[in-house]
Structure formats: C-alpha cells, structure tokens
Amino acid sequence: MNGMTRILVAAMAALLIFSLSGCEKEGPAEKAGESIDQTVEKAEENLEEAKEELADKLEQQGPAEKAGEKIDEAVEKAREKVRKAKENLEEAMKKSE
C-alpha cells in the first residue's frame, strides 16, 4: 500500500468511527470527520485528474517519441558509417605512403 492509500484508508476508518458514534448534535469529532471526508474526496479527485492528464500526455508523446527514437537510430548509423569511412581512408593513406 502506498502512502496516499494508507492515508485514505485511515481517513475512511476515522470517518466511519465518527459516523457510528450516534451523536445527535454535531460536535467537534463530527466536524473533523466531515472535514476529513471532504479532504479525501478532493484528494481523490485531484489524483484522478492527474492520472488522466498523465495518460493524455503519454498518448500524445507516443508517436513523437517513436519518431525521436528512429532519428536517434539513424544518427547512430550515420556516425558508424562515418567512423568506418574514416578508418578506411586512414588505412588507404597508410598504404599509399
């Protein structure tokens, strides 16, 4: 269980305990329970929004990232060809001396 899940579980447990106390008049415990409940709901909403935003960004980056990887591969192949050509040229120059 990650930290946020533990906090949510603890908050829900506290809320359940406060709600089962059976007080007719809303006291500090009930107010605290309501405050915790509202905080937990806001946190859940924020986490869901962040998850959706991240998923959207990952979807948008997919093709661009793939294109970037292909460009990197092409550059690496070109570097290797230039390195080999340089070696061949150096060998040819040594032979002609």
Structure confidence by residue, pLDDT tens digits, 16-58 = 666 666 556 667 777 777 888 888 888 888 888 888 887 777 6
pLDDT at position 21: 61
Q: Tokens representing 63?
A: 């093709």
pLDDT at position 71: 85
Answer for the pair 4, 47: CB distance below 8 angstroms, yes or no: yes
More confident residue, 9 or 45: 45
Answer for the pair 14, 30: CB distance below 8 angstroms, yes or no: no
Average pLDDT over residues 7-20: 68
